[in-house]
Amino acid sequence: MWEKSIKSPKRCKELSSKIRNEAIELEICRILNKIGALKFGTFKLTSGKISPYYIDLRIIPSFPDAFKKICDFSIEFIKDEIGSKSFERVAGIPVAGIPFASVIAYNLQKPFLYVRKGIRLHGRQRRVEGSLTPGDRVLLIDDLITTGLSLKKAASAIIAEGGVVTDTVVLMDREEGGREKLEKSGIKLHMLLNVSGIANKLLETGAIDEEQLKTILKQVKKYRK
């Protein structure tokens, strides 16, 4: 029985996928450490929350090699996890999600949209920029998720203009309740990494110490039931 399960094509594929995903996670962690994306201190997040650490994914596009690798990983993740036929358009969330979304849309040969933070008071006065036809399925892209509020607002703006939103992709989930809030709105979250996984891998590679790991995990624990 054991030998059959090991030789099963499905089992082999699952093991291969797991090994590949772990390698990708490790490589992304190395990239984030190399470019100095992780900081400790007291930071006010976009959501208004105060955090003892900050992972600055906005700086990734300033490092072309890192940006290309992470976009390539994201594209393959989307193909495997969601399927490129499951959506017609790709939308970037302002501001950090826009550069990632534009590259992903280009490589998947999908029309690109972006959502403004507020309604324009001139021109077409639209909140969603780009060509959107009623009924179009739109994949939302952002750098990370904390509370999920930015993604929910963006989804609402797209839906108000006739689009359909069922999935969103982020590079990182800070594990502070955002996933649950999106799911209540009928939107499934797909993330390449979660912050506890990043923290443990950074500890393994010596990029952070035990106290810094505890700082991150303590913040995550606040939001776990």
**pLDDT of 124 strictly over 90:** no
Sequence-distant (≥ 6) Cβ neighbours of residue 137 within 8 angstroms: 86, 87, 88, 89, 163, 164, 165, 166
Candidate ranges 25-34, 41-50, 61-70, 113-122; pick with highest mean pLDDT: 61-70
* Domain carrying residue 193: 2-221
Rounded Cα–Cα distance for residues 82 and 134 (Å):
21
CB distance 151 to 187 below 8 Å: yes
The whole-number average pLDDT for the span 64-74 is 96
Domain count, the chain: 1
Has residue 170 got a pLDDT over 90?
Answer: yes
More confident residue, 4 or 36: 36
The model's pTM is: 0.86
With cut-offs at 50, 70 and 90, classify the pLDDT of residue 117: confident
Contacts of 135 (CB under 8 A, 6+ apart): 162, 163, 164
- Whether 25 has a pLDDT exceeding 80, the answer reads yes
pLDDT band at 152 (very low <50, low <70, confident <90, very high): very high
pLDDT at position 126: 73
CATH of the domain at 170: 3.40.50.2020
Q: What is the pLDDT of residue 28?
A: 92
Best CA proximity match to 209, nearest among 222, 218, 200: 200
Residue 17's pLDDT is what?
60
- Reference 170, options 43, 80, 78; nearest CA is 78
d(CA 139, CA 218): 32
Distance CA 166, CA 138 (A): 8
